[in-house]
Structure 1
Amino acid sequence: MHGVPDAHGIPDSERLARIFLTRVLEPGDERAGQWIRDYGTEETARRLRGAGARLPGVTDRRWAGLLARAGRADPGQDRAAARNAGVRFLCPGDPEWPLQLDDLEDSRPIGLWVRGRPALRLWALRSVAVVGARACTPYGAHMAATLAAGLAEHGWVVVSGGAYGIDGAAHRGALGATGATIAVLACGVDRPYPPGHTSLITRIAEQGLVIGELPPGDHPTPSRFLVRNRVIAALTRGTVVVEAAHRSGSLVTARAAQRLGRLTMGVPGPATSGLSGGVHELLRGESVLVTDAADVIEHVGDIGELAPDRRGPVLPRDLLEPAARRVLAALPGRGAAAAADIAREAGTTEDDAVGRLYELRSLGFVERHDDGWKLTRQAIDSVRQDHRQC
């Protein structure tokens, strides 16, 4: 019977009503979210089928369109098609439902269609979004793949949108590291989009998860890509934008994450690249600059998951005592100098300078030349290396 709860305690009538609504309503519709909150899922579905009073807050034209969609919706058929494709439907209240999606309030998904074996709720608890431009540069693709691989190797789930460019590179990076990844689609999860990523999305479904709000067979539209991004933002602990122009949809994801109180991060690029302009705009605001997986984990991970200190190489002269370094710095770059001249330049006595010079000779920094002292080739190379590090 439709009212009998299933194994997860959700009545079948409630689940079927939500499946019906995913066919009738557009994802992210806050007005529809208010209907569900005020009237309940089943009553909202009943009214959209033409029974009962019209739901408030819609124009005549929109109401007619909703009724027309409702007339063609068949939740039983959608559920059967999903089962045949190895797809399950999750409702709020299911044990597998990620509770962080509830932060979206009235724009929360009505339900999620899920393809893949892992438990979505568990995977989402330790996940990071990696998003960016579709028409990315080789640098952007490399950074996305490297970041995703590093995150996957440290047990993090990489979430992206399955698109060309940065999204695809992020998914491939995680898969290449035999890690976990989730693709959030703006179409039916049984209908891979873009078509050129059919094999990639199939592989994600086999090794990870493919999820979406739209029922089987439904197609993507420009608006659906944009509202899909709020799910990516809400599902994850933080969002990393690798490359994005000023009007990129990836910035929509980042701004949605900021509104939800999630951390946003950006990978810097060349100042001359238009594809880095949007990222740099984020970095001038609330976002954090990251360059590798360790940086990301330090910001979204647990206490103690710190990135290593970023330091240049230790040069031989760095190991000298300050007084010895001053004497070494007092020697000319070319030719020899008398001990008295070196002492004057170093600000010390001649006896002290001579003692330091013999110490430096034993370490291979200086050599005696007639009555003077000069730098060895080792010392000159060390100075040049030091200057390159500056």
Structure 2
Amino acid sequence: MTGVLAERAVAGGSPEATSTRSSAGTTDSTVTPRDASTGISIDASTSTSITSAVGADTSTATGIGAHPAIGIAIGTGTGTAIGTAIGIGTGTAIGTGTAIGTGTGVGIGTGVGIGVGIGVDTATAAGIGVGADISMRTQPQSTQTKPHPTQTQPEIQTQQEHQRQTQSQTQTRTRTRTRTQTRTRTQTRTQTEAEARAALMRAADVGDPIMGRLVMQYGAPTAVEAIRARALPAEFAAQEAQRAREAQQDRAPDLAARLNAWHARLAAANPAADLEAGEKSGARLIIPGSPEWPTQLDQLGAGRPLGLWLHGTADLRFSCLKSVAVVGARAATSYGTHIAAEFGVGLSESGWTVVSGGAYGVDGAAHRGALAGDSPTVVVLACGVDICYPAGHDTLFAAARGQGVVVSECPPGVHPTRARFLIRNRLIAALSRGTVVVEAALRSGALNTVAHALSLNRHLGAVPGPITSNMSAGCHKLLRERKAVCVTSPEEMIDLVGVIGDDLAPQTRAPAVPRDKLNETTRKVLDAIPSRGGAGPASIAVVAGVSLDTALSALGGLAAAGYIERTTNGWRLHKQAASYRKAPDSAILEPPPTPELDPTDDPPFPDDDFRP
């Protein structure tokens, strides 16, 4: 097959070189422009292929290579333009020029032309098809290989499908690699943040507001570096001094002394060892930003804990979404422990988590009641999660780890102090939606939890007790000052802290008696009937203030209902059978002796209620 290729270029500038070589009946003409060129290429071939439509192709082509750029345009009736073409020929193409240009070509042909020579054309083409469908489309530059003209349609589809799968696999591997790198960087930052906060938990006291503000403003790693260098930021020191002046404190905090104490504790801390020991014992450290971190703790502001050590199976964040804090006296009465256990059982069976401090008295009773249900319980300690305090609750804490979680902001191995108990109470109030005080004296640690709950705008309930009990004096004071709502059952507490309309407590009503269903006239007639002796209809009508016919009608209905009975002396109320308490089985009761009647005594009247 012999092909003829002719190309004419009109350049924006003068060409640098023009070369023409011929070999074996093949003519190769190369024009090398200095700038972009606009050309018209016409390709004719004697191939035996037949095309059913005539198409026009407008393309912008750039060819780079050691051989001339040959553009072959195929027009289809559907308006599809193919801008990338590869020509394969049997002849030898000889050219010394390099063509770099941008041209506009129009190809008109009756088939697919196979040129003599090798040419590569990469183009961005817009084609206009003439046929049943006329469309315009811009085809982006692509590196996909154009199917060979001799390939069948199934082979072309298979090749395109393989290319799409290859691209999809490449994109998937790229996304996976990106996610893995991002996850690795995030884990590294999280590990660094966790170690820094674990070190600061050793350096500062629990709930230290100055340390809290330092970490909130500069971050935990920066705070660790500043403490090790014994140099707090000057801006931070100035802010603390200004805050002390605005609060009108008699004595401003000594930052230098506190910094020295932090430095000494930090030097002895080993956060990596704490994390490793906690992991071996089953405990875990969560910090702000962790998936398990309860966001309601952020309301504590500078008093927010630096981190929390957890030991248990329950998720702390999900457990605290529906939670109630049950607090009270350690030296609780039997009444207080009974009520606390009832609240624990009722809340747990209703799907609410019980939060408490794990102490003797009300706390322990509430936890035991919660464990009797299906919901988790949260034990907030004032010591490390590996320390059992009080020691008598080791079994209770073990059960809480299996069904709930034990929480502490103290590092492992730290023992409780009086100050830590009071600071711990803010976590109990912040983790729950509301707090209920079962029993509390006027000077009680439970009232400290109440103060934190009120400062956080949490719901507060109090259970009333005997007015003679000193252990209920604190609850009565809260109720009298209207700081708390009176609650007497778990349902009422859920109504207080739950969702409006969904967690309503059932309304209590007085028991209904059959007499309540009588109308007003019938009740008047019933009230006029004597309980002893008897009375006629006329006298009953006068006493009731109704007519005789109305009285007779009402008497018939009352008699049919069993309210009254008729005697020889008239109508009277129906006597109810006397009920006596059953005597214990061990008691041997002799029947009472029957009194002998004196024949000289007068017999009783028929209307008297004579009982021997």
Equivalent of residue 52 in structure 1, options 219, 231, 235: 231
Residue 286 of structure 1 is matched in structure 2 by 483
Is 2:555 the counterpart of 1:357? yes
1:149/1:179 contact within 8 Å kept? no
Q: Letter of the aligned partner of 1:154 in structure 2?
A: S
Corresponding residue to 1:16 among 195, 208, 226: 195
Write the letter of the residue equivalent to 2:423.
Answer: V
1:120 maps to what in 2?
316
- Alignment partner of 1:377: what SS? coil
Aligned mate of 1:273, from 448, 469, 473: 469
| Number of aligned residues | 378
Correspondence list, 1:65-104, <5 A: 65-104=261-300
- Give, as a single letter, the amino acid of the residue that structure 2 aligns with 1:111: G
- How far residue 11 of structure 1 moved from its aligned partner, in angstroms, is 2.9
Rounded Cα–Cα distance in structure 2 between residues aligned with 1:222 and 1:337:
77
Aligned equivalent of 1:191: 387
The 1:10–1:354 alpha-carbon spacing in structure 2 relative to 1, beyond 3 Å, is farther
Flag the 1:126–1:45 CA change in 2: closer, same or farther, 3 A. Answer: same
Three-state SS of the structure 1 residue aligned to 2:389 is coil
In the alignment, does 2:551 pair up with 1:372? no
Taking the TM superposition and a 5 Å limit, the aligned residue runs for 1:149-298 are 149-284=345-480, 285-298=482-495
Is 2:230–2:259's contact at 8 Å kept on the other side of the alignment? no
The residue type paired with residue 256 of structure 1 is: H
Q: CA deviation at 1:104?
A: 0.7
Cα distance in 1 for residues equivalent to 2:448 and 2:202: 25
Matched, 1:317 2:317: no
2:526 corresponds, among 300, 320, 328, to: 328
Q: 1:171 and 1:16 mapped to 2: Cα distance?
A: 32
Task: Report the structure, 1 or 2, having the larger helix content.
Answer: 1
* Distance in 1 of aligned mates of 2:189 and 2:477: 45
Paired with 2:218 and 2:354, the residues of 1 have a C-alpha distance of 36
* Greater shift in the superposed pair: 142-151 or 300-309: 300-309
Alpha-carbon distance between aligned partners in 1 of 2:362 and 2:356, rounded to the nearest angstrom? 9
Q: Which residue of 1 aligns with 2:506?
A: 308
Question: Alignment partner of 1:106: what SS?
Answer: helix
**For residues 133-181 of structure 1, what are the alpha-carbon distances to aligned partners after superposition, in whole Å with 9 as ceiling and x for unaligned?**
1111111111111111111111111111101000000000010123311
In 2, Cα distance between the equivalents of 1:306 and 1:380? 41
Residues in 2 aligned to 1:44 and 1:327: alpha-carbon distance in whole angstroms: 87
> How far apart are residue 10 of structure 1 and its match?
4.6
What's the offset of the Cα at 1:337? Answer: 2.9
Check 1:10–1:323 CA distance in 2 against 1; reply closer, same or farther (3 A cut). Answer: farther
SS at structure 2 position matched to 1:272: coil
Does the alignment pair 1:42 with 2:221?
yes
**Aligned partners of 1:142 and 1:326: how far apart in 2?**
46
* Cα 1:50–1:195 shift into 2, 3 Å: farther
Query: How far apart, CA to CA, are the structure 1 residues paired with 2:478 and 2:393?
Result: 29
Q: CA deviation at 1:298?
A: 1.3
Secondary structure at the aligned position of 1:19 is classed as helix
Letter in 1 for 2:214: W
Q: Is the 8 A contact 1:365 1:379 kept in 2?
A: no
**For 2:406, what is the secondary structure of its paired residue?**
strand
RMSD: 2.1
For residues 15-56 of structure 1, the C-alpha deviation after alignment (integer angstroms, 9 at most, x for no partner) is 111111111212222222111122222222222234434773
Instruction: Give percent identity, aligned residues only.
Output: 47
Could you tell me how far apart the structure 2 residues matched to 1:309 and 1:334 are? 39
Q: CA deviation at 1:334?
A: 3.4
| SS of equivalent to 2:200 | helix
Instruction: Give the equivalent residue in structure 2 for 1:384.
Output: none
Higher mean alpha-carbon deviation, 132-141 vs 294-303, is at 294-303
Structure-2 residue corresponding to 1:388: none
After TM superposition, the structure 1 stretch with the greater mean CA deviation from structure 2, 269-278 or 310-319, is: 310-319
Q: Which has the larger radius of gyration?
A: 2
Aligned counterpart, 1:387: none
Report the CA distance shift for 1:255/1:337 in structure 2 as closer, same or farther (over 3 A): farther
Contact 2:230/2:263 (<8 A) preserved: no
* AA matched with 1:215: P
Q: Which one-letter code corresponds to 1:296 in the other structure? A: M
Stretch moving more, 268-277 or 281-290: 281-290
Q: Which of structures 1 and 2 has the larger relative contact order (alpha carbons within 8 angstroms, sep 6+)?
A: 1
Residue 33 (str. 1) matches residue 212 (str. 2): yes
Deviates more, 1:129-138 or 1:371-380: 371-380
Q: CA deviation at 1:5?
A: 4.5
Q: C-alpha displacement at 1:188, in angstroms? A: 0.4
Instruction: Give, in whole Å, the separation in 1 of the partners of 2:306 and 2:523.
Output: 69
Q: Is residue 340 of structure 1 aligned with residue 538 of structure 2?
A: yes
Please say if residues 257 and 264 of structure 1, whose CA atoms lie closer than 8 Å, have aligned partners that are also in contact: yes
